[in-house]
């Protein structure tokens, strides 16, 4: 990844972390990928954000991506496994989100990206299986919502 793309990606991650912190999420497992990975004992890639909202009693695992949705799904699943191992009371109180830029979001709705799509009736990531049936992307049974950056 060229340096300018990496810098832009880091700035996007920082912006999302700040926005979610303002919304009331704490970051009990760290505020960087390395801190999260180490605190949760994750090998491999992890999500950019793991937050807990004490007022809502809700966990949020979020990843900021340009267009590499297969990797985003992998990062969310790896991180989800780490959170579930550390937080046995968390099942049923975890949301998964991917943040993408507006132009990529629009592409997901109209033509899809890397086999992934968003249906017009919800903001959950999904794909069409070999029988052309809609399937949600749902690591360990949790659907991934997509947030359009800038909204």
pLDDT at 22: 94
Concatenating the DSSP letter of every residue in 68-110 gives -HHHHHHHHHHHHHHHHHH-TT-TTSEEEEEEE-HHHHHHHHH
pLDDT at 41: 95
Low-confidence ranges of the chain (pLDDT < 70): 1-7, 151
pLDDT at 117: 95
pLDDT at 12: 80
In the numeric block, which tokens belong to residue 123? 């903001």
Strands 49-53 and 58-64 come out as antiparallel
pLDDT at 151: 61
pLDDT at 5: 64
pLDDT at 14: 85
Cα separation of 137 and 144, whole Å? 6
Which residue from 20, 103, 93 is spatially nearest to 57, judged by alpha carbons? 93
Contact present, 128 and 92 (Cβ < 8 Å)? no
Neighbours of 127 (CB within 10 A): 15
pLDDT at 3: 61
């Amino acid at each position: 990844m060229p340096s300018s793309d990496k810098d832009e990606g880091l700035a996007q991650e920082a912006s999302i972390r700040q926005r979610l912190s303002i919304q009331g999420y704490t970051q009990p497992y760290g505020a960087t990928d390395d801190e999260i990975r180490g605190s949760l004992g994750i090998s491999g890639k992890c999500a950019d954000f793991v937050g807990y909202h004490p007022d809502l009693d809700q966990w949020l695992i979020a990843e900021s991506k340009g267009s590499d949705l297969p990797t985003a799904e992998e990062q969310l699943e790896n991180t989800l496994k780490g959170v579930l191992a550390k937080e046995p009371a968390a099942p049923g109180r975890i949301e998964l989100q991917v943040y993408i830029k507006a132009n990529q979001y629009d592409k997901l709705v109209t033509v899809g990206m890397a086999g992934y799509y968003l249906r017009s009736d919800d903001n959950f990531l999904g794909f069409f299986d070999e029988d052309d049936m809609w399937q949600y992307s749902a690591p360990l049974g949790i659907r991934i919502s997509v947030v359009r950056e800038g909204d």
